[in-house]
Amino acid sequence: MQAHKVLRRLSWLAVKLATILWKLHEAGML
pLDDT tens across 1-30, in order?
A: 699 999 999 999 999 999 999 999 999 976
Domain of 14, in residue numbers: 1-30
Number of domains in the chain: 1
Position 22 scores a pLDDT of 96
Name residues whose C-beta falls within 8 Å of residue 21's C-beta, 6 or more positions apart in sequence.
30
User: CA-to-CA distance for 20 and 30, rounded, in angstroms?
Assistant: 11
Distance of CA 11 to CAs 19, 23, 29, Å? 12, 18, 25
Position 29 scores a pLDDT of 76
Position 30 scores a pLDDT of 67
pTM of the full structure: 0.64
